Amino acid sequence: MRLNHIAMALFVSGAAAATAAQAARETIQIAGSSTVLPYASIVAEEFGNTFPQFKAPVVGSGGSSAGLKQFCTGVGDNTIDIANASRKIKDTEIAACKKAGVNNILEIKIGYDGIVFASNANKAAYKLKPYHVFAALAAELPSGGKMVANPYTRWNQIDPSLPNEPITLVIPASNHGTREVFQEKMIDSGCEAYAYIKKLDKDAQKKACTTFRKDGRVIEIAGDYTETLARLKTSPSAVGVFGLGFYDQNRDKLRVATVNNVAPSEQTILNGSYPVSRPLFFYVKGEHLKSIKGLNEFTEFFLNKKISGKGSKLEKAGLISMSDAERAKVLAAFKAGQGVK
């Protein structure tokens, strides 16, 4: 009899725990890109206000790579439902997802963003080119037919047209999608400007283009853009790497640089003349659409013109909106369950 009581107690306890776990997962769980974070947070709040039958999603940060890593750990209540990303998911990440049973990965493009270089608003303007930035942060540069330690300590030593300011670059750490776009579109491009490096074998080229100096002039930030901005406050001569949307919210504190003589703006990003730009995404775990309340509705809500289109709160927060036609195409693909392959 006593064993039956114990068994019943364990059953009740287990049922209560299961019910609690189920109740906890009535809330959509989101993690990933710090660039997408403010947009997702706005939509989460609006969603909670618009659909009282659903709880507002919980939105975390951590960077695109970290978010996608969480996303790809598997299916179930203890895994996130959405990964925000400021870059496309990689083939290696898709493979990791599939290995863990996440086979239905739904890609949702939400708009566009530019990566900008901003400095203290009271300092001189920077007119940057990719080779300027590479020369500022590379650990080694070609000189006299060999690679030597980076000799530059001030921007005007790289190019007399640049400000006579000490080199301090505050860049996103490797967990951020921003870092990968920054590397590809700015650093790799600048590295290719050196004929000596182009003649090296592939491994040596990669090392030269991706190894940054460790003398304190390059500061890598694992947190979000608020931490980068804080570093600029303590280092008034520093140049920080931000998303255009964050810069737009802090125009009173920051001065943006041109890249290849083009200023970043909605127009120059959409027409492709500003070279450091990218689309923004979030990825939905298709296996969770039926089990997590509101996940389907949240995704469609995000793609509503009033939420992410022209004149929306997201556009006012800095998102560069897609055209109505492109948004409709993304929504149609989601409704049809077209996952990434």
Give the three-class secondary structure for 141: strand
A 10 A CB-CB count for 272 gives 8
Cβ partners under 8 Å of residue 138, min gap 6: 150, 191, 208, 209, 211, 212, 213
Architecture of 114-271 per CATH?
Answer: 3-Layer(aba) Sandwich (3.40)
Distance of CA 148 to the CA centre of its chain: 33
Q: pLDDT 10s digit of each residue in the chain, 341 long?
A: 444 443 434 333 343 333 333 444 789 999 999 889 999 999 999 999 999 999 999 999 889 999 999 999 999 999 999 999 999 999 999 999 999 999 999 999 999 989 999 999 998 889 999 999 999 999 999 999 999 999 999 999 999 999 999 999 999 998 888 888 899 999 999 999 999 999 999 999 999 999 999 999 999 999 888 999 999 999 999 999 998 888 988 999 999 999 999 999 989 998 889 999 889 999 999 999 999 999 999 999 999 999 999 999 999 888 999 999 999 999 999 999 999 98
d(CA 289, CA 43): 18
Domain 29-113+279-336 and domain 114-271, same fold? Reply is yes
Domain spans in the chain, listed from the N-terminal domain onward: 29-113+279-336, 114-271
**Three-class HEC string of 161-222:** CCCCCECCEEEECCCCHHHHHHHHHHHHHHHCCCHHHHCCCHHHHHHHHHCECCCCCEEEEC
Architecture of 29-113+279-336 per CATH?
Answer: 3-Layer(aba) Sandwich (3.40)
Give the three-class secondary structure for 264: coil
Q: Tokens 């203290």, residue?
A: 120
Q: pTM for this one?
A: 0.78
